[in-house]
Chain A
Amino acid sequence: MKLTKTLMATTALTVAGVSVQAQDMADSMTLVSWGGAYQKSQVNAYAAPYQAMHEGLEIVWDESSAEAVAKLRAMDEAGNVTWDVVDVVAADALRLCDEGLAMEIDPDEHLAPAPDGTSAEDDFGDLLVGDCFIPQIVYSTTFGYRTDMVPDGVEPPNDICDVFDLETYPGKRSLEKRPINNMEWALLCDGVAKDEVYDVLATEEGQQQALDKLDTIKDDVIWWSAGADTPQLLADGEVFMGSTYNGRLFSVIEEQDQPVAMMWDAQVFDLDGWIIPANLPEDRLARALDFIYFATDTQRLADQAKWISYGPARKSSAPLVGQHADLGIDMAPHMPTDPENAKNTFLYNYEFWADYRDDIDAKFQAWLAQ
């Protein structure tokens, strides 16, 4: 009798224990990303293996990263946050963190250490910008050009200032419809030294100088706002050269076989990564943290590079970068961080743009409308 009771009690406890564990983590999760080839790489490298480990887990993808800040604000006001893990660029992560919409992360507690035991904090290093941002990849905004539109007897463009040189390289250019990057490139090509660009850009005259330089090519610029625009314009032959994210250009050149080549000079590095919305319910938070721990470990970050040419954010992932999953070509030479490509790079200054963005944006838009 007593034995039976004990047995029953332990069974009940075990059952209770199991069910508590199962309830611990939500069995569905909404991930927010950018769509396209980038999201495909995340599905292949992170989500699919994670789902294979956790049977019955449902993952829903929402292609809303472009308006993540606005949507998260609305969700927060409506008291109904439906997202669990959100992929955003570093600048957006900083804004969300400042507004208290993203959860603060402790790298050493929430992220996996490197295989050799190096702590996550050291492994990510400088890329841990802000308290909420979990870096994933390093990408760059750089130029691609049509190889068949290079004029006869002229070297293909290999200098950022070739963008501003309409005489040697006639043809349309596509540039992003915002001041970031364009203003920096304009100053670089107007004789400003690289380490003084942001000092100059902080002044009224400097901003005017950059706009004046852009004015020299304004009639030949097509302005883009979505990452897919420049690849389409290049494939169409509508523009001779255009800026976009390096992964998009890789896809145009290697996967789509278009007559386009990269011009890496003065590429601007930026970061993309995850944030977890603040104040998630406990079970969903546990699921999100578990996923993040898995998806940002050394091997997973290296795996992502099999599908897209963005550099993994961990130092320990770099040696593990292998070959493209379908094409079988080495991915390392296509990374923006490859020494051959990164001879002359430009570092995006987050603090500067956080302080000056609204002001310069207004001037830039006014200039565009002239």
Chain B
Amino acid sequence: MIQPKPVSFVAPVVGAAGAFAGLLVGTAQGVPLLGVVAGAALTAALAFLWLEVFRKERIARWITFLGFGVAGFAIGGLMGGVIGLAFGWLFGWFIFWLGEGRYRAKLPPYTTPLQVFYHFLFRVICGLIFFFLITPIVVVMPLSFNAEDFFTFTPEMLRLDPAGYSLKHYRDFFTNDDWQQAMWNSISIAPVATLLSVSFGTLAAIGLSSEHVPFRRPIMAILISPMIVPLIISAAGMYFFYSRLGLQGTYWGVVLAHAALGIPFVIITVTATLVGFDRSLTRAAANMGANPVTTFFRVQMPLILPGVISGGLFAFITSFDEVVVVLFVGSAGQKTLPWQMFTGLREQISPTILAVATILVTISILLLTTVELLRRRSERLRGMSPG
């Protein structure tokens, strides 16, 4: 089935992709419609040229690659050149991938054209979802190296001129008392809140999964309610309740509030792992003379640990990212990072916020990667996966 395809099929498909690329470039230049038309026409013509007139793949792809690069450079300087090279490589590859019929290489030979179409449509949709999810986060990162105090890609930045970039917003984050105070508050609140939610959440999950506990479902519903009730309602309620108790505006008030928000995550993940836990193991342990506490720490805990850890991770992130409840329950002395970012965004749009966001994203990625690697390692050690 891997055989050359007619240009009457390849050119329109390449043209459609070209229209999308043209839309992006055209929007950046302020002429979206022209971009669509020019992109479609240019790429379709190119497909015709390479497949019908000059079918030498290696040379044709180099010409496309460099040609697009030069055109990009002419339109948008150095940055345009880089983007042009990327588009040139992509279209050079795409034309021959389609034209030579290589796209069917990994599909079973009996698939109908419609099935092939659905197969790739699915991938394109997945790709678009990723694109729209990730782009807003990625765009923030270069902006955080901005040399100016605004959320703006300056002409210097687009020319890749070193003068347009600076680390001053990172310096501001590490030297500014407000930000440092906020960071320490976050660091001192989140782990304690996590510890509380993990302890209480795990105990609650174990209790609620044993059959003899009465009213299991209503109790479960109440414990999970902080996740379901709109945050602003919980926050307002906590504000008035904690004010009466003298906890409002104190460190322990915020820790307790965050622990309450984190408990549902722990309960849900631990309950899920407990489903696969064999109760006869605890009876066996008791049979051999272990008391319930020993049984819990030596037998049950190691087996449900993955659930406890991922619940704890969610609880930590909840506390670390939370802004609504802390605005109510905390006072200015407990200002956390999200709070500082929130007021910073409203009162002065400073790229320091972007620098902080970049740091937080990097930390999150590192944290999740570590956890995943540790999990795989322990699975390998326990022989659960061939890894």
Q: Which residues of A are at the interface with B, using a C-beta cutoff of 8 A?
A: 30, 34-37, 60-64, 66, 74-75, 77-80, 82, 226-229, 231-232, 235-236, 256
Q: Which one, A62, A78, A229, A231, contacts B244 given CB within 8 A?
A: A78
Q: Which residue of A lies closest to B152 (CB)?
A: A236
Instruction: Give Cα A227 to B344, complex, Å.
Output: 11
Q: Which residue of B lies closest to A235 (CB)?
A: B150
**Interface Cβ pair total, 8 Å cutoff:** 66
Q: Which one, A34, A60, A80, contacts B243 given CB within 8 A?
A: A80
Q: Is the CB of A232 within 8 A of B248?
A: no
Distance in angstroms from B60 CB to nearest chain A CB is: 40
Instruction: Give Cα A31 to B150, complex, Å.
Output: 27
Q: Mark B234-266, 1 if CB is under 8 A from A, else 0.
A: 000001100110001100000000000000000
Q: Is the CB of B332 within 8 A of A60?
A: yes
Q: Is the CB of B151 within 8 A of A74?
A: no
Q: Is the CB of A228 within 8 A of B151?
A: no
Residues of B within 8 A of A256 (CB): 148-150
Q: Which residues 338-387 in B have Cβ within 8 Å of A in the complex? A: 343-349
Most B CB contacts (10 A, CB to CB) among A63, A77, A226 go to A63
Q: A60-B333, A82-B249, A256-B149 are in contact. Are A36 and B239 (CB under 8 A)?
A: no
Q: Is the CB of B331 within 8 A of A30?
A: yes
Instruction: Give Cα A62 to B149, complex, Å.
Output: 23
Residues of A within 8 A of B344 (CB): 35
Q: Which one, A30, A36, A235, contacts B332 given CB within 8 A?
A: A30
Q: A62-B332, A63-B343, A78-B239 are in contact. Are A35 and B148 (CB under 8 A)?
A: no
Instruction: Give Cα A64 to B332, complex, Å.
Output: 9
Q: Is the CB of B332 within 8 A of A61?
A: yes
Instruction: Give Cα A60 to B330, complex, Å.
Output: 13
Instruction: Give Cα A226 to B349, complex, Å.
Output: 10
Distance in angstroms from A69 CB to nearest chain B CB is: 16
Residues of B within 8 A of A37 (CB): 348
Instruction: Give Cα A228 to B348, complex, Å.
Output: 5
Q: Is the CB of A227 within 8 A of B249?
A: no
Q: Is the CB of A228 within 8 A of B240?
A: no
Q: A35-B344, A226-B347, A228-B349 are in contact. Are A82 and B239 (CB under 8 A)?
A: no
Q: Is the CB of A35 within 8 A of B348?
A: yes
Distance in angstroms from A256 CB to nearest chain B CB is: 6
Q: Is the CB of B148 within 8 A of A235?
A: yes
Residues of B within 8 A of A231 (CB): 150, 349
Instruction: Give Cα A268 to B112, complex, Å.
Output: 71
Q: Which one, B248, B346, B348, B349, contacts A80 given CB within 8 A?
A: B248
Q: Which residues 159-190 in B have Cβ within 8 Å of A in the complex? A: 178
Q: Which residue of B lies closest to A237 (CB)?
A: B152
Given contacts A74-B239, A78-B239, 17 further A-B contacts (CB under 8 A): A36-B347, A37-B348, A60-B331, A60-B332, A66-B347, A78-B243, A78-B244, A79-B244, A80-B249, A82-B248, A226-B347, A228-B346, A228-B348, A235-B152, A256-B148, A256-B149, A256-B150
Q: Is the CB of B243 within 8 A of A226?
A: no
Distance in angstroms from B335 CB to nearest chain A CB is: 8
Distance in angstroms from A58 CB to nearest chain B CB is: 9
Instruction: Give Cα A74 to B327, complex, Å.
Output: 13
Q: A35-B343, A36-B347, A66-B346 are in contact. Are A78 and B332 (CB under 8 A)?
A: no
Instruction: Give Cα A80 to B151, complex, Å.
Output: 38
Q: Kindly list the 8 A-B residue pairs having the minimum CB-CB distance in the complex, ordered from nearest.
A: A62-B332, A35-B347, A78-B243, A36-B348, A235-B150, A80-B243, A63-B343, A228-B349
Q: Which one, B148, B240, B333, contacts A78 given CB within 8 A?
A: B240
Instruction: Give Cα A151 to B225, complex, Å.
Output: 59
Q: A78-B239, A79-B243, A82-B249 are in contact. Are A226 and B346 (CB under 8 A)?
A: yes
Distance in angstroms from B248 CB to nearest chain A CB is: 6
Distance in angstroms from B163 CB to nearest chain A CB is: 14
10 A-B pairs with CB atoms under 8 Å apart are: A34-B347, A35-B348, A75-B243, A78-B239, A78-B244, A78-B248, A80-B249, A228-B347, A229-B349, A236-B151
Instruction: Give Cα A35 to B345, complex, Å.
Output: 10
Residues of A within 8 A of B345 (CB): 228
Q: Which residue of B lies closest to A61 (CB)?
A: B332
Distance in angstroms from A370 CB to nearest chain B CB is: 27
Instruction: Give Cα A226 to B345, complex, Å.
Output: 9
Residues of B within 8 A of A232 (CB): 150-152, 349
Distance in angstroms from A39 CB to nearest chain B CB is: 8
Distance in angstroms from A120 CB to nearest chain B CB is: 29
Distance in angstroms from A91 CB to nearest chain B CB is: 19
Q: Which residue of A lies closest to B334 (CB)?
A: A60
Instruction: Give Cα A66 to B151, complex, Å.
Output: 22
Distance in angstroms from B34 CB to nearest chain A CB is: 21
Residues of B within 8 A of A82 (CB): 248-249, 331
Residues of B within 8 A of A228 (CB): 345-349
Instruction: Give Cα A37 to B249, complex, Å.
Output: 26
Instruction: Give Cα A160 to B345, complex, Å.
Output: 29
Residues of B within 8 A of A64 (CB): 332, 343
Most B CB contacts (10 A, CB to CB) among A30, A75, A80, A236 go to A80
Q: Which residues 99-114 in B have Cβ within 8 Å of A in the complex? A: none
Residues of B within 8 A of A236 (CB): 150-152
Residues of A within 8 A of B148 (CB): 235, 256
Q: Which residue of B lies closest to A225 (CB)?
A: B346
Residues of A within 8 A of B349 (CB): 228-229, 231-232
Q: Which residues 114-151 in B have Cβ within 8 Å of A in the complex? A: 148-151
Instruction: Give Cα A335 to B335, complex, Å.
Output: 34
Instruction: Give Cα A232 to B345, complex, Å.
Output: 11
Instruction: Give Cα A232 to B340, complex, Å.
Output: 19
Distance in angstroms from B274 CB to nearest chain A CB is: 40
Q: A232-B151, A256-B150 are in contact. Are A62 and B347 (CB under 8 A)?
A: no
Instruction: Give Cα A8 to B244, complex, Å.
Output: 44
Instruction: Give Cα A232 to B346, complex, Å.
Output: 12
Most A CB contacts (10 A, CB to CB) among B149, B178, B348 go to B348
Q: Which residue of B lies closest to A39 (CB)?
A: B347
Q: Is the CB of A62 within 8 A of B150?
A: no
Residues of A within 8 A of B149 (CB): 256
Distance in angstroms from B254 CB to nearest chain A CB is: 13
Residues of A within 8 A of B331 (CB): 30, 60, 62, 82
Residues of B within 8 A of A79 (CB): 243-244
Q: Which one, B152, B240, B243, B347, contacts A63 given CB within 8 A?
A: B347
Instruction: Give Cα A235 to B153, complex, Å.
Output: 10
Instruction: Give Cα A57 to B343, complex, Å.
Output: 25
Residues of A within 8 A of B243 (CB): 75, 78-80
Q: Which residue of B lies closest to A255 (CB)?
A: B149
Distance in angstroms from B224 CB to nearest chain A CB is: 27
Most B CB contacts (10 A, CB to CB) among A226, A228, A236 go to A228
Distance in angstroms from A6 CB to nearest chain B CB is: 44
Distance in angstroms from A326 CB to nearest chain B CB is: 14
